[in-house]
Amino acid sequence: MDWPLLQRLLGELADEIRDSGFRPDVIIGLGRRGWVFARLLSDHLGVSDLITLHANIPIDVERISLELRNRRILVVFDVEEAADVLGDAIQNLRGYGASEIRTATLLLSRSSKVAVDYHHSLGEGVIYPWELHRRRGV
């Protein structure tokens, strides 16, 4: 995937989120790829509160200094990297009093069993522009 396609898909994802009426106060990126998606999506949506969490179990939400009570949260992640910890992350975030939590991923494979609120479906094995090590086969 090249940068122009990535930007187009992120713009379409942001439009889908806006069209749904959801206005996140905070965007949380899970894992390395999730952080990149979250950072780029925050620009498209105009959301300045951005957090990154490592995609491992357990998700350590206690070290977040941002108040999450009564905030609308969008959790952005990459299915390949963080789908298995998504449920734990959402459960932990609910414990901090978030008023609403929705999820987004850039690409969701047709065979995925993960329920995601906002996504594109383009297939599997995508290499993103910033993943130099995967392009080189390292």
Alpha-helical (H) ranges within 20-131 are 31-45, 79-82, 86-94
pLDDT (0 to 100) of residue 81: 77
Q: Which residues pair with 107 in a beta bridge?
A: 120
Reply yes or no on whether the pLDDT at 82 is more than 60: yes
Map out the domains of the chain with their CATH numbers.
3-135 (3.40.50.2020)
pLDDT in tens, 89-126: 888 888 888 999 999 998 887 777 888 999 987 666 78
The predicted model scores a pTM of: 0.87
Q: Which residues pair with 29 in a beta bridge?
A: 52, 76
pLDDT (0 to 100) of residue 53: 83
**Of 2, 46, 12, residue with least CA distance to 121:** 12
**Of 82, 101, 83, 77, residue with least CA distance to 91:** 101
